[in-house]
Amino acid sequence: MVRKMFELFKNEVWRLKLWIVMPAIIYLLLNSSSIYFGEYPDSGLMIGNVHSLIFAISSVLLGLVQFHTYKKPNRWIYLINRPASTRSLCLTLLATGSVIVFFQFVIPDFIITINMDNLSPFLIEKRHYFQALYVFLISMGFYLSGVYIQLSHSRGAFLVLILPIMVMTSLLIGGPVIIISFIVMVWLLLLVLSVFKANTHNNKISILGKILAIIPFQLGLYFIIVMVLAFTFQLRLMILDGAGSEIPWNEYYDNDVYSHVEFLEGNEQLALNLLEAKNTTQDKYSDQMKNIKTYNSEPDFKLFYPSLLLPYQQKIQRLKIIDSVNEMEWTFSLDNMLYINTGHKHANQNNQLSRKSENGVITEFKTIPNVVSNNFGFQVITEQKIYSYDPDFQQLNLRFQLSENESFISGFNSSGTLMNILTTKNMYVFDTEIAKHPTKTLAPLTVIELPGAHENLTSIEIAEMMDKTLIGFLFGKLSSKGHYPAVQIVIEIDHSINEIKTLATRPLKSGFGEMYEMMNWYISPLTHWVTEYFIKPQLESDPLKPISTQPDLQLSKQLKTLVFIMVLVSVILVLVLLRKRDLTTIEKASWILLTCLSGLTGLITFLLLTDKKIHLNHK
Amino acid sequence: MLYIFNKHFFTMALIIYSGQVLSQKQMQNTDLTESVIAHESAPIAKAFSIQQAMNKAHIISVKISPNGNNIVYVTRKNKGVALHLLNVKSQTSKKLINSTILNAINWSTDGKILFLHGAQYLAYVDPFTDKPSPKIFYRYDNKNEESFYGVDTSQAQQVLISRKVLSKNDSTPHHLLRINTKGEETLLYSDKIKIYDHLFDQSGKLSFIRQPNKQEHVIYQINDKHKTPVYKCIVIDKCRMIKFDNNHQKLYLSGIGDYNFRSLYTYDINTKLSELIHQDPEQIADLQNLIIDEISGEILQLDYHTDRLKHYGLNEKQTSHFKHIESQLSGNISIDSNNTDNWLIIQKSSLLQHPKYYIYNKINNNITAILQQQRTIGETLHSDKLVPNIPITYEASDGMILYGYIMLPKGKKLSEVSLLTYVHGGPFGRNRGGYNPNQYLVNQGYAVFQPNFRASTGYGLDYMLAGKEKFSTRVQKDILDGIDYLINQSIGDRSKLGVFGHSFGGYSVLALLSQYPDVFVAGVATAPGTDLLKLLKTMDEKGINEYDGVPLRAALPILLADMQDEEKLAKFKSTAPHVTWNGITKPLLIWAGRKDQRISITHLRDYALKLKQAGKSIEFIEDKKVGHNPSRKDKVTPKAMLFMVTEFFNRHILNTNTNSDDEIDDYLKKYRVY
């Protein structure tokens, strides 16, 4: 039997031989140009996306084409009449696909990496070799999706693509993609097995197959609905309201709405905030506010420590220090956990750059640091320490250190004669002139406790007035999801006496009510739960400790009522439709339970997955 | 008798004064015998650090109100500055505001408000209210080039802005604007060419402007926005319009005109004749500063910097006030005279690290010290640690009378001390006496000579142009003549001579060390030119403009050399340091700024490398972040540069160690190339 399976495997490979050659050539050409431009070993997300697109298109097509053949009755009968189990047959065909994927993408990737490791000056590490594994897993994910779409009789089968797309998204946001793509591949494999078996058993899909299908169906529907709504909303704004004239985005909202304030420019945010201040304060600053220039700062990164960082993901982490003064660059080596001199004229990979201990010995970083570059120069930031790169000494100087219970969420930001840095708890203000001297550890001029949760912090506007400094905080990043309130707070600093005063607090409308239709159409508590806890766990290794100084926003009564009514209607409809479905009692109960949990998407999933009986090659 | 300084200070002041009197009367070599005796018999000055030598004054700026009743002053804070108001009569002071962005202040013409300048804003504050609150009335337009052009003295509370519109569509992109405290602007004039000076008539209408052409400065009369050229000043004479006498159609100007010294003169628009109004009575110095009463148009004060800053009025009464003040206060006295009873006096002196401030009451001739307490906040060097900067006059070997200053260490046999020569930059600049951080070198035991060799400015046109074509030769000889003169005055040991200087001063160091290799023991050249001709041509090509818009190339034939005379040019070129470098035999330190727009870093690298490869004793320091000069806010570089000079001479001449600090050590570790 094994020999016959091998024959099937061999014939299948031979049948699809062109599928190995063509994508492999395209992939090799693409990577050759990447190498030519020096991007391959530290390829950014864009390269990663282009690659993923090739894997996606090629692999989905492979799955569709390979199994399209078996839609023909004679081919199908020829296949299933072999003296082998359906699982063996299915796995043999899938093994063919996996071998093709391996030769298409994995082998070229591996060869390129080995070559670069031995022949180029680029820093090639374990993560570069792991990239081949990712390439295999993501390609298999798309391939299996293609197979599933071909074999499934459901009209919504294409929704299964949401799973490999999620892996790609995880790549974009820095998730542990190897693990996720492996889980997704196994998931899809089980789905394909279940649907393959169903084709030989009168289209009877097992309970496991149904359960496995429900989640991608739910997610896919959710994203489609959100996109349609967003597009409709956008279209309405552009075509109907805009009527051909250019209207700033924020002008569609009242000025006390978060989305309006978020997009205000210049000093408008601060001026608006000051409207809530006392009359005397307003009078005091009204003349200055007309002309004042403000500087914006915002939390610009999150520290995270994935177990394995693919080259595609390193731009997220920003691992390079480009020393233009000495025409050299430093790349963070994940194998060594310190920077190594790479690229450019004076590359010498024996040169290492890291933290210096008191006795001058170079010590490794404990976690992967983040590199931020602005007019303050290159800053290397760990959870609690920020270093500046000194091109003169080619060393990292410790500039500022936090206590254990807070973390950096930005590098040094310049704001006139002042500089600031944001942490999960505070905003530290420094004197720019002193901060520019790179050797000394800095002492802040002023420490301002963040007047809200750092996760909810959108931006900070700093205005150095003639006599005082005003800082406007805009909170509301998470308010549309109902986590925290949207609010503007302006404080005043008198540097001469180091006095900090809150001048005005301006609550803003946000949360579900405001951007409801556009951004967060939470059709059911389940989809809400999925977006919050299913997508977010990709960042679970995020070390930031949320510190909320404001209570969470409660859902409004109207919203709760709306959600309840929608869920109720969905459940009623499912109950009505169940009468016309040929399902077991357990299956019926499961659909009712799912709809109770997921509301409208549960209803739509029910409609898509419980259609009329369909037999493979019926007739 | 006003008791202003301690006894020691007063003695030193007398020494300076006696030297001045002597030099005025005889116009020959200053006899320094008494100064030498006084210095040698004085106790050795207590040591101070480089950091102390560089200390900044607590009071940054002081301005008297137009009515003379109030003083506004700015003090340094930990972060930013504080603005205060002092009532002259009651001597009570109140803080107005703190600011992190305030750069400068001006009283409005009516004296009722203060204009505040930040890098990006113009604001004003009423200093007489209980709770002064600044109001920003104008923000500089980032889309165009804008700069503050001064308070509009023809208006009560308005300022002037110069704007260059960067849009290519504007055929007259240079605008002169008047801005009121509401931020409303009035376009006074617009043209293709920038306006560098202006004059309003009594109604506040623009009546004259000065603009450059390719060769000279042209003064135009404005009639209904049409301009008519009325007068021209040569390229090196940035003549200033003072007032216009409408009755006699005479334009008052301060400039060189047809004279040797920068003077006050009139130009009759009808007859085209000039008439001299005032010139330095001593016939030594150019007119440096002039004060006019904006309301009456009366010229109140004319300042000339000879051996010290001297003040004159156009009438005897006014002059007698100035002479009284000068007799009471030593050093360089800045007087802000006006048509009120109180004048502000700022005293700067080599014995004062930071200025002192006084009010002079014209009625009772009293000089009252003000802001004494505020002045002592922060650290200022005590005058007994400092030495006077003695003005000297000496005759060069070709008979020309030259000027300069000398600082002598106290309590040492001066004929045995090391004599260092500090050559000023330019060369079209000058030493002015007063306090400078070279006091640290004196404190270390050196005598420091600061020659105003020919080509220096401030002593008339002939003096300045006497160095033309001879910058590597006769000008250098002037410096050596000065050293000879000092050694003849028993100052300095001929075997312990050192020379240092910045920019042209550095050029001079290279020229002296290569042409007179046996004279000096060591030299320090910071940002030195190695080829003056090429340097100035490069500056011209880069558009570095020092003559109010007239291209530098127009000034070169006047200042530098006849550019058509190949023979002279060849001689000039053949004596430049980049040609004579091989003559250097003594240790040399070169400091260079990588971002220097004037002195190409590659030239200096090549120059230093040539010396190094030839086995000369050369040290080279290249600051990667600095240009021709360190920025005003840079606290480390000037300190490190002073240390480099001191340490180099200590090592090569005195064979002693020099104390540094962490910042200096870091600096040298970073930037020392070899």
CB of A323 within 8 Å of a chain B CB? The answer is: no
Nearest CA in chain B to A430: B79
Please, which pLDDT band fits residue A241 given cuts at 50, 70 and 90?
low
Contact B101 A494 (CB under 8 A): no
* C-beta separation of A465 from A288 below 8 A: yes
- Checking if the pLDDT of B2 tops 70, the result is no
B476's enclosing H/E stretch is helix B474-488
Average pLDDT over residues B357-378: 91
DSSP string, B425-471: SSSS-----S--TTHHHHHTTEEEEEEE-TT-SSS-HHHHHTTTT-T
Mean per-residue pLDDT over chain B, rounded: 90
User: A461 and chain B: CB distance < 8 Å anywhere?
Assistant: no
Distance from CA of B94 to the nearest CA of A (A): 15
Of residues B217, B228, B229, B224, the one with CA closest to residue B201: B224
Q: Give residue-wise pLDDT tens across range A122-157.
A: 788 888 888 889 889 999 999 999 999 988 877 778
Least confident stretch, A65-74, A221-230, B126-135, B639-648 = A221-230
* Closest Cβ opposite residue B134 in set A288, A433, A439: A288
Does the pLDDT of residue B246 top 80, yes or no?
Answer: yes
Average the pLDDT over B248-252 and give the result: 94
Q: Is A418 on the interface with B (CB under 8 A)?
A: yes
Residue A33 contacts by C-beta under 8 Å, 6 or more apart in sequence?
none
pTM for the full predicted model: 0.80
A619 at the B interface (CB within 8 A)? no
Distance CA B363, CA B340 (A): 10
Backbone region of residue A288 per phi and psi (left: phi > 0; alpha: psi in -120 to 50; beta: other values): alpha
**DSSP summary character for residue A154:** -
**Could you tell me which of A418, A419, A427, A476 has the C-alpha nearest to residue A450?**
A427
β-strand B309-312 against A395-401: which pairing, if any? Answer: unpaired
Number of residues assigned to chain A: 619
Q: What is the CA radius of gyration of chain B?
A: 26
Locate all alpha helices (DSSP H) within B277-422, ordered by sequence. Answer: 316-328, 372-376
Question: E strands of A343-423, at which residues?
Answer: 352-353, 355-356, 362-363, 370-374, 377-381, 385-390, 395-401, 413-415, 418-422
Per-residue pLDDT, averaged over A603-614, amounts to: 70
Q: Which of chain A's residues have a Cβ under 8 Å away from the Cβ of B121?
A: 291-293, 466
Residues of A in contact with B127 (CB under 8 A): none
Q: Across the interface, do B136 and A288 touch by the CB < 8 Å criterion?
A: yes
CA distance B18 to chain A (A): 45
Residues of B in contact with A468 (CB under 8 A): 98
Provide, as residue numbers in chain A, all residues whose Cβ is less than 8 Å from the Cβ of B102: 466
Nearest to A466 among B118, B138, B671 (CB): B118
Other Cβ atoms within 10 Å of A324 Cβ, number: 10
Residue A619 pLDDT level (bands cut at 50, 70, 90): very low
Where do we find the tokens 């790169």? A389
Euclidean distance between CA atoms B211 and B241, whole angstroms:
12
How far is residue A477's CA from residue A456's CA, in Å, rounded to a whole number? Answer: 5
Give the C-alpha separation, A434 to A442, whole Å.
Answer: 8
Please check the confidence at residue B222 and state whether its pLDDT lies above 90. yes
Chain A residues inside the 8 Å CB shell of B103: none
Residue B19 has pLDDT above 50, yes or no: no
d(CA A607, CA A598): 14
pLDDT at A73: 73
Length of chain B equals: 674
A394 touches chain B (CB under 8 A): no
Q: In this complex, do B98 and A293 lie within 8 Å of one another by their Cβ atoms?
A: no
Q: Which region, left, alpha or beta, applies to residue B543 given φ > 0 means left and ψ of -120 to 50 means alpha?
A: left
Cβ pairs A/B, distance under 8 A: 79
Work out the pLDDT band at A23, boundaries 50, 70, 90: confident
Q: Is the preceding omega at residue A451 within 30 degrees of 0, hence cis?
A: no
Q: What is the mean pLDDT of residues A354-380?
A: 81
Rounded CA-CA distance A536/A455 in Å is: 13
Residue A78: burial class (beta carbons within 10 Å; 0-12, 13-18, 19+):
exposed
- Give residues with Cβ within 8 angstroms of A585, minimum separation 6: none
pLDDT in tens, B8-17: 444 444 444 4
Neighbours of A234 (CB within 10 A): 11
Predicted confidence (pLDDT) per residue in A558-580, tens digit: 667 777 888 899 899 988 888 88
As a whole-number percent, the residues of chain A with pLDDT over 90 amount to: 15
pLDDT band at A78 (very low <50, low <70, confident <90, very high): confident
| A291 vs B: CB within 8 A | yes
Cα–Cα distance for residue pair B67/B110, rounded to 1 Å: 8
Q: pLDDT at residue A190 above 60?
A: yes
pLDDT at B497 over 60: yes
Residue at token pair 């390979």: A66
Burial track B450-460 (b if 16+ CB lie within 10 A, e otherwise): bbbbbbbbbbb
CB atoms near residue B374 (< 10 Å): 17
Q: How far is A495 from chain B (nearest CA, A)?
A: 7
- CA Rg, chain A, in Å? 29
Q: Which residue of B has its CA nearest to A431?
A: B79
Give the least confident one: A302-311, B103-112, B373-382.
A302-311
Among A284, A391, A495, whose Cβ lies nearest the Cβ of B100? A495
Q: Which residue does chain A place closest to B138, by CA atoms?
A: A291
CA distance B201 to B245: 10
Confidence at residue B3, expressed as pLDDT on a 0 to 100 scale: 36
DSSP secondary structure code for residue B47 in this structure: P
Would you give the DSSP letter of residue B674? -
**d(C-alpha A25, C-alpha A6), whole Å:** 27
Better pLDDT: A228 or B113: B113
* Banded pLDDT at A32 (limits 50, 70, 90): confident
| Residue A445 sits at the chain B interface (C-beta within 8 Å) | yes
Strands A320-323 and A328-333 turn out to be antiparallel
Confirm if A483 and A456 have CB atoms less than 8 A apart. Answer: yes
CB atoms within 10 A of CB A298: 15
Which of A557, A558, A561, A594 is closest to A575 using CA atoms? A594
Q: Enumerate the residues of chain A whose CB falls inside 8 A of the CB of residue B99.
A: 466-467
Residues B142-166: tens digit of each pLDDT: 788 999 999 998 899 999 999 999 8
More confident residue, A60 or A566: A60
Shortest CB distance from A287 goes to which of B98, B136, B671?
B136
What is the nearest CA distance from A284 to chain B, expressed in angstroms?
6
Burial of B657 (C-beta count, 10 Å sphere; 0-12/13-18/19+): exposed
pLDDT in tens, B571-605: 888 888 999 999 999 999 999 999 998 898 999 99
CA distance B40 to chain A (A): 42
Structure tokens at B136: 């920003």
pLDDT at A21: 82
Are B351 and B15 in contact by the 8 Å Cβ rule? The answer is no
Residue B319 scores a pLDDT above 70: yes
The pLDDT of B202-214, averaged and rounded, is: 91
A513-556 pLDDT, tens per residue? Answer: 444 444 444 455 555 555 554 443 333 333 333 444 444 445 55
Q: What is the DSSP letter of B79?
A: S
| pLDDT at A316 exceeding the cut of 80 | no
Contact A453, A477 (CB under 8 A): no
Sequence letter at residue B613: Q
Q: What is the DSSP-derived secondary structure letter of residue B46?
A: P
User: Does the distance separating the beta carbons of A287 and B633 come in below 8 Å?
Assistant: no
Inform me whether the C-beta atom of residue A360 falls under 8 Å from chain B C-beta atoms.
no
Model ipTM?
0.80
A240 HSE (CA, 13 A, CB side)? 7
Contact (CB<8Å) B80/A288: no
Among chain A residues, CA nearest to B637: A437
**Regarding beta strands B497-502 and A352-353, do their DSSP bridges make them parallel or antiparallel, or are they unpaired?**
unpaired
Q: What is the dihedral of CA A223, A227, A229, A232, to 10 degrees?
A: -170
Does residue A290 belong to the interface with chain B, where contact is any CB pair within 8 Å?
Answer: yes
Q: Which residues in chain A have Cβ-Cβ distances shorter than 8 Å to B118?
A: 466
- Computed over every residue of chain A, the mean pLDDT equals 78
Q: Per-residue pLDDT tens for B157-203? A: 999 999 999 888 888 999 999 999 999 999 999 999 999 999 998 88
* DSSP for A297-314, written as a single string: E---------S---GGGH
Strand ranges across the sheet with B401-407: B389-395, B401-407, B446-452, B418-423, B497-502, B522-526, B588-593, B618-623
Dist. CA A517–CA A494, nearest whole Å: 43
By DSSP bridging, strand A377-381 and strand A370-374 are: antiparallel
Which residues of chain A are within 8 Å of residue B120 when distances are taken between CB atoms?
A: 293
The whole-angstrom separation of Cα A511 and Cα A160 is 31
Q: What confidence score (pLDDT) does residue A43 get?
A: 63
CA B117 – CA B102 distance, rounded (Å)? 6
Q: Do A392 and B670 touch (CB under 8 A)?
A: yes
Dihedral sign for Cα A427, A433, A439, A440, please: negative
Mean pLDDT over B436-440 rounds to 94
Judging contacts by C-beta atoms under 8 Å, the chain A residues touching residue B123 are: 288, 466
Would you place residue B420 in the very low, low, confident or very high pLDDT band (cuts 50, 70, 90)? very high
User: Crossing angle for the helix pair A126-151 and A107-119, nearest 10 degrees?
Assistant: 170
